[in-house]
């Protein structure tokens, strides 16, 4: 089911002052089946200096996580093939070291048992996305 609460901005994305070029190429994987949300999040994070890859569903995300190391996974939950919760459970079982942010419009009873670094309730703002990523990756982005 597609999240209709997301609206693509009419103006180009402008990163808040102080965010640009402060990141030492931390690697982030964005997994979301909504193409607009996936592209927007990847664009915002890339413009903020992160090295970003994107996957269209949990199964594609699982392949990417097995092919390359990431510092952070930002995943939606309601996706075809493999949900975000199922993807996180696979990561935990395989002991793949990556911090995880679950972005979802619906709270899940299992969240506390998954070892999440953070959750982002949908819809979220640009500031919430960047603030949560900075918090999870630790300290000032320029420290990395």
Look at residue 71 and tell me if it is in a domain.
Answer: yes
pLDDT in tens, 51-91: 999 999 999 999 999 999 999 999 999 998 999 999 999 99
**What pLDDT was estimated at residue 24?**
52
Q: What pLDDT score does 113 carry?
A: 79
Question: Degrees (nearest 5) of the Cα angle 50, 18, 133?
Answer: 40
Domain that holds residue 103: 27-136
pLDDT band at 106 (very low <50, low <70, confident <90, very high): confident
pLDDT (tens digit, 9 = 90+) per residue, 39-55?
Answer: 999 999 999 999 999 99
What is the 3 state secondary structure string of the chain?
CCCCCCCCCCCCCCCCCCCCCCCCCCEEEEECCCHHHHHHHHHHHHHCCCEEEEECCHHHHHHHHHHCCCCEEEEECCCCCCCHHHHHHHHHHHCCCCEEEEEECCCCCCHHHCCCCEEEECCCCHHHHHHHHHHHHCCCHHHC
Angle value at C-alpha 122, between 20 and 100, nearest 5 degrees? 65
In this predicted structure, what is the pLDDT of residue 13?
Answer: 59
CATH number at residue 48: 3.40.50.2300
Q: Is 16 contained in some domain?
A: no
**86 is a domain residue:** yes
61 lies in a domain? yes
Task: Please say if the pLDDT value at position 7 is more than 50.
Answer: no
Separation between Cα atoms, residue 34 and residue 13, nearest integer Å: 18
């Amino acid at each position: 089911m597609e999240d209709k609460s997301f609206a693509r901005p009419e103006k180009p994305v402008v990163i808040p002052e102080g965010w640009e070029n402060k990141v030492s190429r931390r690697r982030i994987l964005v997994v979301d089946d909504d193409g607009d949300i996936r592209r927007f999040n990847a664009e915002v994070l890339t413009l903020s200096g992160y090295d970003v890859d994107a996957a269209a569903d949990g199964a594609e995300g699982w392949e990417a996580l097995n092919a390359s190391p990431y510092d952070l996974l930002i995943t939606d939950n309601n996706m075809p093939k493999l949900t975000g919760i199922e993807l996180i459970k696979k990561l935990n079982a395989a002991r793949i070291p990556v911090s995880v942010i679950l972005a979802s419009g619906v709270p899940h009873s299992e969240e506390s048992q998954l070892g999440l670094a953070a959750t982002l309730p949908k819809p979220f703002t640009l500031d919430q996305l960047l603030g949560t990523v900075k918090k999870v990756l630790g300290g000032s982005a320029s420290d990395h």
